Amino acid sequence: MTGTAAPAALAAHATLAASAPGAISAPPIEYSQLGPMLVVFGAAIVGVLVEAFAPRPARRGTQLALSLGGLAAAFVWTVVIAASRQVFANGSPGHTAIGGAVGVDRPTLFIQGTIVVLAFISVLLIGDTRFSPFVAQAAAPPGATAEQEGLAAGAMHTEIFPLTLFAVGGMMLFPAANDLLTMFVALEVLSLPLYLLCGLARRRRLLSHEAAMKYFLLGAFSSAFFLFGIAMLYGFSGSVSLAAIASTAASNTSNSTLLFAGIALTGLGLLFKIGAVPFHSWKPDVYQGAPTPVTALMASCTVVSAFGALLRVFYVAFGNLTWDWRPALWVIAVLTMVVGAVIAITQTDVKRLLAYSSIAHAGFVLTGVLAVSTAGLSSALFYLVAYGFTTVGAFAVITLVRDPGGEADHLSRWAGLGRRSPVVAGIFAFFLLAFAGIPLTSGFTGKFAVFQAAIASGETALVIVGVLSSAIAAFFYVRVIVLMFFSDPVPDGPEVVLPNVFSGTAVGVGAAVTLLLGIAPQPVLSLASHAANQLFVG
Amino acid sequence: MTGVLAAGTNTDSVAVETVFWILAVVAVAAALAMILVRRAVHCAIMLAVVMLCLATMYAMQGAPFLAFVQIIVYTGAVLMLFLFVIMLIGITAADSIVETIKGQRLAAGLAAIGLLVLLALGIGHAAIGPAAPPSPKYGSGNLTGIATLIFTTYVFPFEVTGALLITAALGAMVLAHRERIAPRPTQRDLAARRLASGQVVGDPPPGIYALHDSADRPALLPDGSPAASSVSSVLNPRTGTEPPQVVRPGEKPQLEAADGGEREPAPSAGSGRAES
Amino acid sequence: MSPVHYVALSVILFMIGGVGVLVRRNAIVVFMCVELMLNACNLAFVAFARVHDNLDGQVIAFFVMVVAAAEVVVGLAILMAIYRARRSASVDDASLLKY
């Protein structure tokens, strides 16, 4: 084709395509309802451009402002959607946007809002460069001269901010995904940046690398199982849409092998992200090896997001098959609570301790999931909020207690901390009490709500196991508190640095929410039950 | 080729059935070999065999587009990336990464085989329907059919994969790109630094051939003392301070038996240099 | 060929990949076994697409390939970082090369 022939041929082709019966008509894209996610992804992409074009000294401030601004905007937008009369007109449970790929409903919006706020706090921790826990030059081998130069120059990988935003975007999409393909893509979008971020610790870099690789290999392994489960469900129903799977499951009872294989394998993939026993083995290692702000992000946002996805899949797609998956999930919930609580007793590292506590808490949330009722859903949502804020605050405190070489991770270093800096030790003790579920903390309210919902659904045995493992868990939390307040300080004990505005905000918000949800939980409880009143859209 | 193979999957000709069985056996054998062979390179090649078998099977099942994507992207790009890294790391590098995954080998194998039996039985019992009859969407219309789905039903995941690709590029940059913090020293800088250090010329070479043909032997300064700086810092310099033997032509140099016993005696051509 | 055969083959390949992940100790080989599992998933998707007479399965397989490509980049980058840290740390510090 030369000269004038080319445009003419193109035009002819275009008219042909437009008039052809198979011409693609673009699907409606509800930008206003996808806004929160688009804002976060957009901020991440702008962040990449900042990396490319902004001068190095300006990058950190720009990235921090961009990330925090994007997350704040996403939160405001989420609230606006939740309050919108248009989406939830006439008691509608919500809307499936962009060709049914994304569900916009109240539980999802509640989860997304929680994720955005928790991510905001985690980004504050990431942005605290005073004792940056991130490596100066990831490409330089540990101990190399290039690493020393990077440390001396105060270099920082500001790519961490866009990576975090990508992960947060994936986390927001994960519970909103209304078909399994979108959910799989979201799972990868949230996982890949986290794999990378895990390997960027400044100190004990070999441990950090190992954490990244372990997380990556096991994560890829579990996502392969998740994918095979999707394949089975697709084979069962001929579609990956959650609603289509549910309707096929209701009508077609002949081909249950594929369906059950699909439920088991997708469940396995989701339970891995949550860290339920027996898919928990990555959690302690990864939590210990990752830089503490990234651990805070994973412990709060990833868990919330994965529970959102689990709730959506099991309530929407497998909602009619409660009797089939409930026993299996029951066993997993019991195992998760008991194993998490028992193994935590033997831990000597603070971050590992919190990792096992996170496993145990996943078991408590599973109790709420197992209730399979609006009360169960709302209690699980409330628990996720309560746990998320407490854990972010606890990890923020860990960043403050420092040895000359880095954070004082080993529990023995924390001995007598209460005498040397009573405020920080007191706040940490308060978080631990919240984890243990002592009254006047959010942990108590959350556990109470979850157990109440479970009993209402006739899961009394599960609640008994839950209460017993809470008691076991309380033992080791109290042990740490005793260690901090009633044992002699170690001679060259860790220094407690004064929190600056970033870590101070993180600790403060965590503690305030933990206290508030313990004393006056009603607003959030009613918000959660309002959100859960209408289940997920299908 | 694909047109012939995509003719149908229920009423396949004997030829196509034969192709399936050959490919299936080859694929399973290659997959088994992949987990049995010891070297990573061989694993990669076995994986390539599996992938090529699967590509042909996609073509046989009416997925010509996927067949070519499988060959071009998966076998051609992804697997080559694996091979690059294997070549870069070398064959022995794998050992250092071992301890991070503690697999209870036997239990894992047994559990997986049990699960295999369970799933195979399950799939055997599953009433998987017959294949759809051939239609344009498995042949000439395949590409447009896929494109329609990608840009309508699955447009959002399609856009979100963009985030995935950016993440991958950014991550590889973070982990691999070493930013130069100080500007690269120029020739002038190096020269100035050298003058400032007081040592204008480079370090003296080690005393190879003075007595031994080994690089750990320091050179001797004019006053006969050993020059420690002449030996590379990764070696332990031998600080034997015996004076250089003057070897006259025709005479064999005396070698100490203590440390030179297992060594080859210095070649006579080299020993002559000791006196110069 | 009946689609059942393809699905059975995909199950077998998936399980071989799974066993490989569990028994092999070399991280690269483990990762390749994960790729084998993803390939097995793709085979199942394509087979089921023919059963249900829609192209969704093929599209999903295409997505899986895209996702796998991104995953490979990240995974190999992490493996390279580990390799560099463990193998070359000593080499980098000891300056074998003088001026």
Instruction: Quickly count helices (H) and strands (E) in chain B.
Output: 11, 2
> In B, which residues are within 8 Å of A164 by CB distance?
none
Q: How far is B177 from chain C (nearest CA, A)?
A: 11
Mean pLDDT of A234-252: 89
DSSP states along B93-138: GGGGGGGG----HHHHHHHHHHHHHHHHHHHHHS-PPPPPPP-GGG
Mean pLDDT of B245-251: 57
Are C27 and A228 inside 8 Å of each other by CB?
A: no
Q: How far is B68 from chain C (nearest CA, A)?
A: 11
Are B34 and C4 inside 8 Å of each other by CB?
A: no
Q: Tell me, yes or no, if A99 comes closer than 8 A to chain C by beta carbon.
A: no
**Is it the case that residue B274 has pLDDT exceeding 60?**
no
Cα separation, B35 vs B105, whole angstroms: 13
**Is it the case that residue B97 has pLDDT exceeding 60?**
no
Topology of domain B2-92+133-173, CATH: Four Helix Bundle (Hemerythrin (Met), subunit A) (1.20.120)
- C-alpha neighbours within 13 Å on the C-beta side of residue B255: 19
Write B118-121 long-range contacts (CB < 8 A, 24+): B119/A261, B119/C11, B119/C15, B120/C8, B120/C11, B120/C12
Least confident of A428-432, B88-92, B105-109, B255-259: B255-259
More confident: A399 or A86: A399
Residue C92's pLDDT is what?
A: 32
Dihedral (Cα; A451, A453, A454, A460), 10-degree rounding:
70
Reported as type and span, the H/E element at residue A263 is: helix A256-274
Residue B238's pLDDT is what?
A: 65
Mean pLDDT of A136-140: 80
Are B170 and A48 inside 8 Å of each other by CB?
A: yes
Mean pLDDT of A414-429: 88
Structure confidence at residue A1 as a pLDDT band (50, 70, 90): very low
Residues 195-254 of B with CB under 8 A from A: none
Q: Could you tell me the CATH number of the domain that includes residue C62?
A: 1.10.287.3510
Domain count across chain C: 1
Task: Check: CB of residue C21 under 8 Å from CB of residue A228.
Answer: no
Q: Report the residue of C34, C78, C79, C90 to disrupt the B interface, i.e. the one with the largest count of B CBs within 10 Å.
A: C79
Range of the domain at C88: 3-98
| pLDDT tens-digit map of B50-68 | 999 999 999 988 899 999 9
Cα separation, B253 vs B52, whole angstroms: 67
Least confident of A519-528, B37-46, B124-133: B124-133
Residue A206 CB neighbours (<10 A): 15
Q: Kindly identify which residue of chain C lies nearest to residue B94, measuring between CA atoms.
A: C26
Are C59 and B150 inside 8 Å of each other by CB?
A: yes
| pLDDT tens-digit map of B19-43 | 999 999 999 999 999 888 878 888 8
Are A100 and B141 inside 8 Å of each other by CB?
A: no
Are B181 and A99 inside 8 Å of each other by CB?
A: no
> In A, which residues are within 8 Å of B161 by CB distance?
185
DSSP states along A275-309: T-TTS-THHHHHHHHS-HHHHHHIIIIIHHHHHHH
Residue B182 CB neighbours (<10 A): 8
Q: What is the ipTM of this complex?
A: 0.90
| pLDDT tens-digit map of B225-234 | 777 777 777 7
Domain boundaries, chain B: 2-92+133-173, 204-235
Token pair recorded at residue B51: 């992938």
Token pair recorded at residue C11: 């199950």
Cα separation, A280 vs A335, whole angstroms: 11
**Is it the case that residue B273 has pLDDT exceeding 80?**
no
Distance of CA C65 to CAs A216, A227, A473, Å?
18, 12, 43
Q: Looking at this protein, which amino acid is placed at residue B119?
A: L
Phi and psi angles of residue A331, each rounded to the nearest 5 degrees, phi first: -60, -45
Residue C90 CB neighbours (<10 A): 12
Residues 335-364 of A with CB under 8 A from B: none
C-alpha C11: how far from chain center: 16
| E-only strand ranges, A123-176 | none
In Å, the largest CA–CA distance within chain C is: 70
Are A227 and C64 inside 8 Å of each other by CB?
A: yes
What pTM was computed for the model? 0.86
With contact defined as 3+ CB pairs under 8 Å, the chains touching A are B, C
Residue C97's pLDDT is what?
A: 31
Question: Considering chain A, what percentage of its residues have pLDDT values greater than 90?
Answer: 47
